Amino acid sequence: MLTPDTMFERYGGLAFVTRFVLSFYDRVVASVRLAPFFANSDMQRLVEHQAKFISSVMGGPTSYSNAVLRETHEHLDIDDQAFDEMIFLFKTTLKDFKISDTDVEAIIADLNARRKYVVNGRSKKM
């Protein structure tokens, strides 16, 4: 039997990632700091887009460029504290879904590397 080559394949593909993203957004909308960013969002559409993005981070099909990330977030007043909380909630959700520590660190490193495309120029970690 062949071993899946990517995290995306190892953990079950888009169906798994979509379940993970739904759980992550349950935490996000419960957050006092993060919930206001999503008050007027179409959450179903957001989950679909985020699942595609996270799939690509995990080695699945590529979906969004860094330019699209910047364009998507530029109208929001996202600061480092909001980004850090998002990372914390993301990491917690990854661990709850039994993602290996090595894979958690790889995913979080990828997301942190994209901070400058989300934080709107106020990044302390550019």
60 vs 22: CA distance, rounded Å: 18
How would you write the pLDDT of the chain (126 residues) with one tens digit per residue?
A: 445 789 999 999 999 999 999 999 999 999 999 999 999 899 999 999 999 999 999 999 887 788 888 888 888 889 999 999 999 999 999 999 999 999 999 999 999 999 999 998 544 443
List the domains of the chain with CATH numbers.
17-118 (1.10.490.10)
pTM summary value: 0.86
Whether the Cβ atoms of residue 24 and residue 107 lie closer than 8 Å to each other = no
Give pLDDT, residue 18: 96
Write down the pLDDT at residue 3: 55
